[in-house]
Amino acid sequence: MQKNLKIRLQDILNVDLLAGAEVLAGSAGMDHEITSVNVMEVPDIIDWVRPGEFLLTTAYTFSNNMEAFNSLLPLLSERGVCGIGIKLKRYIDDLPESVRQTAEELKFPLIKIPIDVSYGDLMKRIFTYIIGAQTRLLEQINQINNKIKEIMLRHGGIEKFAELIHSVVQSPLLITDDIYRSHYLYCEDQDWCEKLESIIPLVISNGDNQNDLNWSETHSDTDSFDGCEVPRITIPIYFEEILYGNIVIWDINNKIGANELFVIESAASLIALHSVTQVTLSDRENVHRTNFLELLLSASSESQSKAMLDAEYFEYNTSAYHQCVVMRIDQGDMSFAQNITSRRGRELRLILLAIVNQLQRRYRSHFISASKGNEASFLLEYDQVTTEETRVKLARAFTRLLLEIARAEQVEPYTFVGIGQCYLGTEKLSASLHEAKQVVRVLQAKKDKSVHSAFFSDLGFQKLFGNPDLRDDLLAFSDEMLKSLIEYDNGRDGELLETVRVYFENSGNLRKMSEVLFTHYNTVIYRVNRIRDVFKIDLKDPETAFNLQLAIKIRDMLT
């Protein structure tokens, strides 16, 4: 965002005392910012100038040595001086061509000012203009911000924000909401509306894929329409390093200046606070839904009874069929951490919020959702008259949509979805939740991470791991088989248990194991021999191998 209110050197030509002013050279720099004005009538001025200063001179000091003046220009430009106003016909008649050429190359404006204008009067008028322009700009910003606050108080959305911003820029504009995945185009010209509608998906897609470190700054691009290039300005809506959306403006009339952009940038900051407020409200709603679902999906009848007090509020039908779906995003995946970091500060909770919100808009049947940490739970609901075949189709459609949205949010590779079995009434809801979570654990534990969803009914023998009656026995078996290795590994970064795991994953190929473990080949041999000689575990014995692999699988899935 711009750090101050910018008044351009071009703007001060509106001062009445500069009515006869003429840009002699360096016109490409008339967009330079002017912050103050001073007089230059001494040769050592370079030590006293400040960035943004406009210098007035008769060039008396350089009247007999214009090359010295020419040599001074690069130094003044380097110091950030915005330009020089020169009175000609007093001590010098004209600027040498070498001076003009230097000014052109530096884009350093040299402006001829009327000879009969006093420095005192001109400095006073320029300062008055700068202060007045800044005051008017601040007033405009204040008016816009007050209107934005009014929109917020009236619970308006991006449509009202777009209408307000259009009143400033008088150009077509688009506001995108990255959290709730919505956008609104404001355009009064129907022809332009049709042209812009065709490129909006690409504009939004480019914004999603942009990993530029400067995403928090206003940036410009161009779009081509009927062979004409139209400037496109993108202003980020962000707060505390999190991007909530963008304001995209097409300057079809080439009239949007730095001051108009400053006004919109100020408005974007306030719109970001509106987005933060919306997210906070969604977070609070999620807390209530999470509490309700945790009670409802509990195995405790007492907890379910408490949930029933809010059943009507959450539109929960006690006599319908219900089915749990659990989605988990694998935070342990290093590529996931890098992906989140590169996506402009987006937090995992905001990604989950975006996914849930889009599901609520796009899935036609009723469901209740809740999210906590890296996991979201969904309770799908079906009427009693819905056939089993239809319930399966609806659950598959829900899962496909869920993964489609996860793909759009760029987290599908790290997302795993488990679908529990469908039960009538409330009594077995906890079983459906447990089954869905079990499926997720199975999917995450698989070496092949290409499968991202599954039904509990399709697990095969792995269903056994999800049976609550067998859980304690399975864990006891796993602990018994792995006890000696686990005890040895405590404080040793799990080297022996991990060695056993990798041994079976690579069919006992010691060379391959050393590559996977990033360990010297001789060290791998030492560990395998130690497992055999010290712990009396023969990894080549079929029954031992089966029991160990089963124990490790149980440990992965149930702990």
Mean local confidence (pLDDT), 21-36: 92
Amino acid 240: pLDDT: 79
Distance CA 108, CA 25 (A): 7
Amino acid at residue number 249: I
Tell me the CATH number for domain 9-130.
3.40.1390.20
Distance CA 481, CA 549 (A): 10
Res. 454 pLDDT band, cuts 50 70 90: very high
Mean local confidence (pLDDT), 39-66: 86
Distance CA 148, CA 234 (A): 19
Amino acid at residue number 36: S
State the Cα angle at 369 between 184 and 466, rounded to 5°.
Answer: 140
Sign of the CA dihedral 68, 74, 78, 83?
A: positive
More confident: 266 or 84: 84
What angle, 0 to 180 degrees and rounded to 10, lies between the N-to-C axes of helices 158-169 and 119-153?
160
Distance CA 382, CA 435 (A): 18
More confident: 483 or 135: 483
Amino acid 552: pLDDT: 84
Which element (helix H / strand E) includes 148?
Answer: helix 119-153
pTM over 0.85: no
Tens of pLDDT, residue by residue over 526-554, are 999 988 888 888 899 889 888 888 888 87
State the Cα angle at 31 between 27 and 37, rounded to 5°.
Answer: 95
Query: What's the chain's average pLDDT?
Result: 86
Tens of pLDDT, residue by residue over 263-289, are 888 888 888 888 888 888 888 999 999
Distance CA 287, CA 262 (A): 38
Mean local confidence (pLDDT), 155-178: 88
SS3 category, 420: strand
Res. 1 pLDDT band, cuts 50 70 90: very low
Tell me the CATH number for domain 297-463.
3.30.70.270
Q: Six-digit token pair at 23? A: 């840009």
CA distances from 423 to 17, 157, 368, 378, 461 (A): 85, 40, 16, 14, 21
Domain range annotation of the chain: 9-130, 155-279, 297-463, 470-558
Task: Assess whether pLDDT exceeds 90 at residue 110.
Answer: yes
CA distances from 283 to 288, 356, 359, 522 (A): 9, 12, 16, 54
Q: Which of 13-17, 143-147, 283-287, 388-392 has the weakest average pLDDT?
A: 143-147
Tens of pLDDT, residue by residue over 380-414, are 999 999 999 999 999 999 999 999 999 988 889 99
Q: CATH for 155-279, among 3.40.50.10860, 3.40.50.720, 3.30.450.40, 1.10.760.10?
A: 3.30.450.40
More confident: 155 or 272: 272
Res. 227 pLDDT band, cuts 50 70 90: confident
Mean local confidence (pLDDT), 180-204: 88
Task: Assess whether pLDDT exceeds 80 at residue 206.
Answer: no
Tens of pLDDT, residue by residue over 88-102, are 988 888 999 999 999
State the Cα angle at 509 between 507 and 511, rounded to 5°.
Answer: 155
Share of the chain above pLDDT 90, in %: 36
Length of the chain: 559
Q: Which of 126-140, 410-424, 504-518 has the weakest average pLDDT?
A: 126-140
Q: Six-digit token pair at 334? A: 């290093």
Distance CA 178, CA 207 (A): 9
* Bridge partners, residue 329, by sequence: 415
Res. 5 pLDDT band, cuts 50 70 90: low
Mean local confidence (pLDDT), 45-54: 89
220 DSSP 8-state letter? E
Res. 369 pLDDT band, cuts 50 70 90: very high
Q: Six-digit token pair at 301? A: 């009848």
With a CB cutoff of 8 Å and minimum separation 6, the contacts of 352 are 329, 371, 374, 376
Task: Assess whether pLDDT exceeds 90 at residue 106.
Answer: yes
Question: Is the fold of 297-463 the same as that of 470-558?
Answer: no
Amino acid 336: pLDDT: 60
Give me the helices (H) in 223-333, please. 258-296, 301-308
Res. 296 pLDDT band, cuts 50 70 90: very high
With a CB cutoff of 8 Å and minimum separation 6, the contacts of 44 are none
Res. 207 pLDDT band, cuts 50 70 90: low
User: Is-contact 344 286, C-beta < 8 A?
Assistant: no
| CATH topology assigned to domain 470-558 | Arc Repressor Mutant, subunit A (1.10.10)
381 DSSP 8-state letter? E
Distance CA 245, CA 519 (A): 47
Amino acid 342: pLDDT: 47
Adjacency order of strands within the sheet including 242-250: 182-186, 173-177, 242-250, 228-239, 219-225
